[in-house]
Amino acid sequence: MEESSNSESRPGNPGGQDIRNAPNNGERPNQRTEMTNDHNAPSGNPDADKSSFSTPDKGGAKFKNPILAQPPEGFTGLKLGKPETVAAGITAVLKSMEFSWGEAGIGRGTHALLKLNQKDGFDCSSCAWPDPDDHRSVAEFCESGAKATASDADERRVDPAFFARHSLVDLSHMTDRDLNNAGRLTHPMVRRPGATHYTQISWPDAFQLVADELNALKSPNEAVFYTSGKVPNEPAYLYQLFVRQFGTNNLPDCSNMCHESSSSGLSSTLGLGKGSVTLNDLHEAEVILVMGQNPGTNAPRMLTALQIAKRNGAKIIAINPLHETGLSHFKNPQDFLNPIKAVGTLLGAGTPIADLHLQVKINGDVAVLQGIMKHLLRSEELNPGEVIDHEFIKQYTANYDEFLANLKKTSWAEIEELSGLSKEQLLEAANLIAPKQKIITCWAMGITQHKNGVLSVQEIVNFHLMKGAIGKPGAGTCPVRGHSNVQGDRTMGIWEKPKKELLDALEKEYGFEPPRENGHDVVDSINAMHNGEVNVFMSLGGNLLSAAPDTEFVAEAIRKQRLTVFVSTKLNRGHLVTGQTSLILPCLTHVDIDRQRSGHQFTSCENSMGVVSLNKGILQPLSSEMLSEVAILSGIAIATLGDRSNVDWVGYTENYDTIRDAIARVIPGFDKYNEKVRIPGGFYLPNGPRERTFKTENGKANFTVTEMPKHNLEPDQLVLMSIRSHDQFNTTVYDYNDRYRGVYGERRVIFMNPQDMSDRHIRERQLVTITSHFEGQKRRLEKFIAIPYNIPKGNTAAYFPEMNPLVPIASVAKTSNQPASKFVVVTVEPIPELLPEGSTSAIPMVVAV
In this structure, are strands 743-744 and 603-606 parallel, antiparallel, or unpaired? unpaired
Task: Give 653-672 pLDDT, tens digit per residue.
Answer: 999 999 999 999 999 999 99
In this prediction, residue 337 carries a pLDDT of: 67
Per-residue pLDDT reduced to its tens digit, 624-636: 999 999 999 999 9
Q: What pLDDT does 290 receive? A: 97
As a whole number of angstroms, the distance between CA 554 and CA 526 comes to: 6
- Are the C-beta atoms of 690 and 794 separated by less than 8 Å? no
Region label for 385, one of left (φ > 0), alpha (ψ between -120 and 50) or beta (otherwise): left
Residue of 847 and 540 predicted with greater confidence: 540
Reduce the DSSP state of residue 662 to 3 states and report it: helix
Q: Is the pLDDT of residue 58 over 90?
A: no
pLDDT band at 51 (very low <50, low <70, confident <90, very high): very low
Residue among 583, 536, 586 at smallest CA distance from 558 = 536
Q: What is the pLDDT of residue 62?
A: 67
Task: Give a three-class secondary structure readout of 347-359.
Answer: HCCCEECCCEEEC
Which of residues 515 and 104 earns the better pLDDT score? Answer: 515
Nearest Cα neighbor of 49 from 818, 815, 810, 809 is: 815
Report the C-alpha gap between 672 and 7 in whole angstroms: 9
The distance of Cα 805 from the centroid of its chain, to the nearest Å, equals 19
What is the DSSP track for 175-204? -HHHHHTT-EE-S-EEE-TT-SS-EE--HH
Confidence of residue 300 (pLDDT cuts 50, 70, 90): confident
Model confidence pLDDT, tens digit, residues 215-250? 999 999 999 999 998 899 999 999 999 999 999 999
Residues 6+ apart with CB under 8 A from 561: 529, 534, 535, 536, 537, 578, 579, 580
Of the listed ranges 109-113, 379-383, 700-704, 734-738, the one predicted with least confidence: 109-113
For range 808-834, the mean pLDDT: 97
The gap between the terminal CA atoms of the chain, to the nearest Å, is 70
> What are the pLDDT digits (tens) for 116-154?
777 777 777 777 788 877 777 766 777 887 888 888 889
Q: Which pLDDT band, with edges at 50, 70 and 90, does 104 fall under?
A: confident
* Residue 115 reports pLDDT greater than 80: no
pLDDT at 649 over 50: yes
Query: Where on the phi/psi map is residue 12: left (φ > 0), alpha (ψ -120 to 50), or beta?
Result: beta
Residue positions counted in the chain:
849
Bridge partners for 727 per DSSP: none
d(CA 607, CA 129): 6
Alpha-carbon Rg for the chain, nearest whole angstrom, is 26
Percent of the chain at pLDDT exceeding 90: 77
Q: What is the chain's mean pLDDT, rounded?
A: 90
- The predicted pLDDT at position 297 comes to 87
pLDDT value at 21 more than 70: no
Using the predicted structure, report yes or no on whether residue 88 has a pLDDT greater than 70.
yes
Q: In a 3-state reduction of DSSP, which class is residue 148?
A: helix
**Amino acid present at 7:** S
Predicted confidence (pLDDT) at residue 1 exceeds the cutoff of 50:
no
Q: Tens digits of per-residue pLDDT, 705-745?
A: 998 888 889 999 999 999 999 999 999 999 999 999 999 99
What's the confidence (pLDDT) of residue 467?
A: 98
- How many angstroms separate the CA atoms of 128 and 144, rounded? 12
What band does 44 get if pLDDT is binned at 50, 70 and 90?
Answer: very low
- The secondary structure of residue 322, as a DSSP letter, is S
pLDDT exceeds cutoff 60 at 57: no
Q: pLDDT digits over 170-224, tens only?
A: 999 999 999 999 999 999 999 999 999 999 999 999 999 999 999 999 999 999 9
Choose among 695, 696, 698, 699: nearest CA to 686.
695
How much is the pLDDT for 64? 80
Among 329-343, 570-584, 696-710, which stretch is predicted with the lowest mean pLDDT?
329-343
* pLDDT tens by residue, 315-354: 999 999 999 999 998 888 777 666 677 667 777 778 899 9
Among 298, 220, 356, 252, smallest CA distance to 640 is for 220
Rounded CA-CA distance 526/354 in Å is 40
pLDDT tens readout for residues 784-800: 999 999 999 999 999 99
- Distance from C-alpha of 785 to C-alpha of 767, rounded to nearest angstrom: 5
- Amino acid 803 reads M
Q: Could you read off the pLDDT of 251-283 as tens digits, one per residue?
A: 999 999 999 999 999 999 999 999 999 999 999
Q: How far is CA 546 from CA 529, 554, 824, in A?
A: 16, 9, 17
- Residue 60 scores a pLDDT above 70: no
Give the model confidence (pLDDT) of 447-469 as tens digits. Answer: 999 999 999 999 999 999 999 99
Instruction: Return the amino acid letter for 805.
Output: P
Q: Which residue, 839, 777, 727, is CA-closest to 143?
A: 727
Q: Residue 584: is its pLDDT beyond 80?
A: yes
17: pLDDT strictly greater than 60: no
3-state secondary structure 449-483: CCCCHHHHHHHHHHHHHHHCCCCECCEEEEECCCC
Given the DSSP bridges, would you call strands 329-331 and 86-88 parallel, antiparallel or unpaired? parallel
Quick one: average pLDDT of 691-710?
A: 95
Question: Which one-letter DSSP state was computed for residue 37?
Answer: P
Q: Residue 63: what pLDDT?
A: 67
Q: Which of 12-16, 108-112, 166-170, 301-305 has the lowest mean pLDDT?
A: 12-16
Q: What confidence score (pLDDT) does residue 10 get?
A: 42
Predicted pLDDT of residue 59: 52
- Mean pLDDT in residue range 285-292: 98
The helix/strand/coil state of 227 is: strand
pLDDT (0 to 100) of residue 335: 74
Contacts of 235 (CB under 8 A, 6+ apart): 540, 603, 628, 629, 630, 633
* CB-based contacts of 205, cutoff 8 Å, min separation 6: none
Distance, CA of 281 to CA of 287 (rounded, Å): 11
